[in-house]
Amino acid sequence: MKDPRIHYRDLWDRPSMDMKVRPSKVERDIGRSDLTLVVGPGSPKMLAGTLVAAVGITAMLVWPLTTIFLILTGLHAPDNWYWGIVGVLTLVFWATLYTAAVHETAADRRYAERLRLPG
């Protein structure tokens, strides 16, 4: 039972709660163009993104591993051959990533068509 002589203070009403609690509704900067699907099989943005990813994969995996392999085995590969192989592997990664991305967006388009149909 509350004692009327004691002033009770709401412990949840303090400045630190206002500063540390996130708002109940977050404003998002999303427009219609962010939610639309590309009409064709791919886009220049997808082509550039997969190229950057392929170069990154090659730079982080292929180049160091082949360099370590050549150092440990003592094999000598001419510079033209070495960088040619690294370049060809970059193109292979690029083609593989782009093909996978096109197939994934095609699946997204099929799913969007299924959602659009009634029933």
Q: What is the pLDDT of residues 55-105, one digit of tens each?
A: 999 999 998 998 898 889 988 878 788 888 899 999 999 999 999 998 888
pLDDT attached to residue 12: 61
Q: What pLDDT does 37 receive?
A: 67
Residue 38: which pLDDT band, with cuts at 50, 70 and 90? Answer: low
Is 111 inside any structural domain? yes
Asked whether residue 37 is assigned to any structural domain, the reply reads: no
Q: What is the pLDDT of residue 107?
A: 83
Instruction: Please check whether residue 27 lies inside any domain of the structure.
Output: no
Q: Is 99 inside a domain boundary?
A: yes
Number of domains in the chain: 1
* pLDDT-based confidence at residue 52 (cuts at 50, 70, 90): very high
DSSP string of the chain? ---TTSPP--TT-SHHHHHHSPPSS------HHHHPPPSSS--HHHHHHHHHHHHHHIIIIIHHHHHHHHHHH-----HHHHHHHHHHHHHHHHHHHHHHHHHHHHHHHHHHHHHHS--
Give the pLDDT band (50/70/90) at residue 7: low
In a domain, 78, yes or no: yes
> What does the pLDDT read at residue 18?
57
Is the pLDDT confidence value at 6 over 70?
no
- Domain hosting 112: range is 43-116
Q: How far is residue 26's CA from residue 7's CA, in Å, rounded to a whole number?
A: 36
What pLDDT is stored for residue 115 in this prediction? 82
